[in-house]
């Protein structure tokens, strides 16, 4: 449904004609993200370049009760940036400037459209480090990362996006520009509103600037692969490493199907005949790295690893880590539709959960490859399917429901990092309970009474 002419004229006068898209062939790419089987063509797409332009666009849309969907790079995996019918997409890809790297205070100030990789590269030029590294980091925007509170491969040791956000600037549904947080290491003034906006999936405010904390870049790193004939042994290795008081930066898991697809795609020498592969990485002071990698190797062997390989050099380490980052792309080559799920359980329940996913795949006659951030208990069961096959999709939905329900029964969460969006909102109340769910809706209504920002996401 096209936008009425006066609104288009208003948007054009705010951002300029070259920053407004309305032709169907131009707006179609902004109608979906990385989530399978969810798409809706937006009414128009606008590319603001400043917080003021965002605010003016919001004021105009609000005056016409026009819903707004904020978009970063569109790599989301819960349908967060998929527009509702007739919605205006505000794409922040043009707000792509790093504003300041303060090497004395260890901070970086940036616009929201900068990619996650570019943030870490800018930090690296000063010998500093921005640890959160979602698998999509070459493309995902920092605004999207904050809106989803994204995690990554290094989350076990370094935490997630929230742990690095010191302050944000955001535009509210009534067009006010607000700032929360500060550049002080300690700041307990008032409610921590920035924390409310982190992970709010574009439903409360449009993030227009972020102040990030940086840390010193680790001096050394070692990457290892442990190969197992039994998935349970890989899960137990993870528990044993943590129990030994070692917190590696990465403990990533790939099951046999994922390892086969990744090897077929990336040719990095991953074995294709074992049931589980653990990618383990430790970083920090060279002496600590040497000690931890030795102990992790011994623990892996003691828990049934049939082989532990240590990357010979930085190039091999990088190849192994990027092979893992390519797991989604590698699996996606197998079938027309790839549904990448995101459930997290307490680490002690990992072996049970991985076993349950395999059993569910057999029971429902489905191809499910599982990989994930095993050190965080965060698994990505990935359904390889075909959305044109209605009967198979029915089985996918039953299997997915069984996996999510099992996750909750083990004390887990319906999403460890991809967010609720459209894909998971049906299960949110089940996890939160009625009172907590209602309180969240009250918060949404308090900040966005007209329901203008990302309507239909997170809640019905």
Ligand X SMILES: Cc1cc2nc3c(=O)[nH]c(=O)nc-3n(C[C@H](O)[C@H](O)[C@H](O)COP(=O)(O)OP(=O)(O)OC[C@H]3O[C@@H](n4cnc5c(N)ncnc54)[C@H](O)[C@@H]3O)c2cc1C
What's the closest the beta carbon of residue 36 comes to ligand X, in angstroms?
A: 11
Beta strand 220-228 with 276-284 is antiparallel
CB of 75 to ligand X, least distance (A): 3
* Residue 125, burial from CB neighbour count under 10 angstroms (0-12, 13-18, 19+): exposed
Residue closer to ligand X (CB basis): 31 or 74? 74
- The yes or no reply on residue 83 touching ligand X (CB under 6 A) is no
Closest residue by Cα to residue 100 from 27, 185, 167, 186 = 167
- CB closer to ligand X, 406 vs 457: 457
Radius of gyration of the chain (CA): 22
Binding pattern to ligand X, positions 387-426, x when CB under 6 A? ------------------------------xx--x-----
Give the whole-angstrom CA distance, residue 212 versus residue 54. 21
Is residue 181 within the footprint of ligand X (CB under 6 A)?
Answer: no
Spatial separation of the C-alpha atoms in residues 347 and 351, rounded to whole Å: 8
Please select the residue that binds ligand X; options are 48, 67, 202, 369, rule is CB under 6 A.
202
375 near ligand X (CB under 6 A): no
The residues in 428-457 that bind ligand X, with binding defined as CB under 6 A, are 454
b/e for 18-43, b at 16 or more Cβ within 10 A?
ebbbbeeeebeebbbbbbbebebbbb
- Collect all residues with Cβ–Cβ distance below 8 Å to 395 and sequence separation of at least 6: 364, 365, 366
Q: Does 201 bind ligand X (CB under 6 A)?
A: yes
Q: Which stretch binds ligand X (CB under 6 A): 74-82, 175-183, 286-294, 297-305?
A: 74-82
b/e per residue 437-451 (b: at least 16 CB within 10 A): eeebeeebeebbeee
Binding span for ligand X by CB under 6 A among 1-9, 68-76, 248-256, 264-272: 68-76
Among 175, 219, 146, smallest CA distance to 14 is for 175
**Measured between alpha carbons, how far is 362 from 399 in angstroms, rounded to an integer?**
10
Could you say which residues in the range 288-347 bind ligand X, by CB under 6 A?
328
Q: How far is the CB of 127 from ligand X (least distance, A)?
A: 25
35 touches ligand X by CB under 6 A = no
**Which chain residues interact with ligand X by CB under 6 A?**
33-34, 69-77, 80-81, 92, 112, 134-136, 140-141, 143-145, 147-148, 150-152, 201-202, 206-207, 328, 417-418, 421, 454
């Amino acid at each position: 449904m096209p936008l009425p002419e006066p609104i288009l004229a208003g948007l054009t006068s705010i951002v300029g004609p070259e920053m407004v898209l309305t032709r169907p062939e131009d707006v179609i790419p902004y109608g979906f993200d990385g989530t399978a089987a969810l798409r809706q063509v937006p009414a128009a797409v606008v590319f603001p370049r400043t917080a003021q332009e965002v605010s003016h666009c919001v004021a105009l849309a609000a005056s016409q009760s026009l819903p707004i969907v904020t978009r970063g790079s569109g790599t989301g995996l819960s349908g967060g940036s998929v527009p509702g019918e007739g919605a205006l997409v505000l794409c922040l890809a043009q707000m792509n400037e790093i504003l300041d790297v303060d090497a004395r205070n260890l901070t970086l100030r940036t616009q929201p459209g900068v990619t996650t990789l570019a943030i870490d590269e800018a930090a690296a030029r000063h010998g500093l480090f921005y640890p959160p590294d979602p698998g999509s980091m070459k493309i995902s925007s920092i605004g999207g990362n904050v809106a989803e509170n994204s995690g990554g491969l290094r989350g076990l040791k370094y935490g997630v996006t929230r742990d690095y956000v010191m302050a944000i600037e955001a535009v509210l549904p009534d067009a006010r520009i607000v700032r929360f947080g500060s550049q002080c290491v300690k700041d307990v003034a008032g409610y921590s509103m920035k924390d409310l906006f982190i992970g709010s999936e574009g439903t409360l405010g449009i993030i227009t600037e972020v102040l990030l904390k940086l840390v010193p870049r680790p001096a050394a790193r070692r990457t290892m692969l442990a190969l197992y004939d039994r998935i349970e042994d890989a899960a137990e290795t993870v528990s044993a490493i943590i129990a030994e008081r070692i917190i590696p930066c990465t403990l990533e898991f790939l099951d046999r199907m994922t390892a086969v697809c990744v090897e077929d795609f990336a040719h990095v020498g991953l074995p294709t005949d074992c049931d589980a592969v653990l990618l383990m990485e430790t970083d920090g002071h060279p002496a600590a790295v040497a000690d931890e990698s030795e102990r992790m190797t011994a623990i892996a062997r003691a828990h049934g690893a049939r082989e532990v390989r240590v990357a010979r050099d930085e190039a091999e380490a990088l190849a192994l880590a990027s092979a893992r980052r390519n797991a989604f792309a590698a699996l996606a080559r197998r079938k027309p539709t790839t549904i990448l799920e995101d459930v997290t359980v307490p680490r002690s329940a990992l072996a049970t959960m991985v076993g349950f996913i395999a059993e569910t795949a057999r029971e429902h006659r489905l191809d499910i490859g599982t990989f994930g951030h095993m050190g965080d208990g965060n698994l990505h069961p990935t359904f390889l399917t075909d959305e044109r096959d209605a009967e198979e999709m029915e089985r996918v939905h039953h299997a997915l429901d069984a996996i999510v329900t099992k996750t909750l029964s083990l004390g887990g969460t319906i999403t460890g990092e991809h967010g609720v969006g459209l894909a998971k909102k049906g299960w949110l109340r089940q996890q939160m309970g009625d009172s907590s769910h209602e309180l969240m809706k009250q918060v949404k209504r308090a900040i966005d009474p007209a329901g203008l920002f990302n309507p239909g996401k997170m809640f019905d």
